[in-house]
Structure formats: C-alpha cells, structure tokens
Amino acid sequence: MNDPLTHNRYSKSGEQRVVYHNNGAYINAAPPETKAYMAALLTSLTNHVQALSAGCESKLAFTIRVVCHGAGLDLFQIAEADDILKKRFDNLCEQGVRFLACANTMRARNLEIKNLYRLSEDDVVPSGVAELAYLQIQGFAYIHL
C-alpha cells in the first residue's frame, strides 16, 4: 500500500476545478459559531490544496473558487479582524484560491469593497447563486460544507 503522505493519488488526474459554496454557518449565527465555521472552511481549503501537492515535485494544476453570499460574506470581515485567520486566508490567496463575493448580498447588507478584506472589483460577481450554477456548467465540482 502506498503511503498517502508521500504518494499523491491526484497527480495523474489532471487539473481539479472546484467551487466551494460559502453562505455562512447559518442565518443569525452567533459570532463564535460564525468564526468556527469560517475557520473550518479555511481548514478544508488548506487541506485540499495541500493534498494536491503532497509528495509531488511540482505543484499540481488546480482552480479553486470560493463563492461567498449571504452570511458567507462575514468571512472577509472575520479575516480582517483575526490575525490567525487572516494569515490562513492570505496563504490560500497566495496559492491561487480565489474568493468571490455576491454583489446582491453586498447591496442588501450595505457593504463596500473597501470594507471587505482583500476584495477587489474583479472578485465581485453579480449573483452568488448564479455564479455557483455558472461554474458548475463550466465543469467545476461543487462542494458545500
């Protein structure tokens, strides 16, 4: 049996294209639950990226998008306020994970790009739900935690 830490079963599978659906812990979740959910999301993303490069001499190709809408936009504010989560968020961004924000939610919650950590205009999509469907039609695997 191959050691899963030194043998990468994904190395011959080609590029992984994955979209994570982040709509938060649940509506009106208390701050501790929201922060715990966001930490778990970042852990899953980190584990995913690490699994793709385990035992490989070169980084495997992947495209990972995280579509944030509804309470999922809290991720940007939590990352800004928490140094540990900010570092994890930054590390994922530097490895190529892209976080997208729903313009409908931003309007409904009166949120501006400048108040959402690391967000640029290119990271705002018209509708989070429509973006999820669009990416799945483009062949992205769907993951919701």
16-22 and 62-68 as β-strands: parallel, antiparallel, unpaired? parallel
Write down the mean pLDDT value for the chain: 90
Q: What is the pTM of this model?
A: 0.90
Res 46: pLDDT:
97
What are the pLDDT digits (tens) for 77-116?
999 999 999 999 999 999 999 999 999 999 999 999 999 9
Res 61: pLDDT:
80
In sequence order, the 6+-apart residues with CB closer than 8 A to the CB of 32 are none
* Amino acid type, 12: K
Distance CA 21, CA 129 (A): 9
Res 145: pLDDT:
87
Domain locations in the chain as residue ranges: 16-144
- What would be the CATH architecture of the domain defined by 16-144? 3-Layer(aba) Sandwich (3.40)
Distance CA 32, CA 11 (A): 38
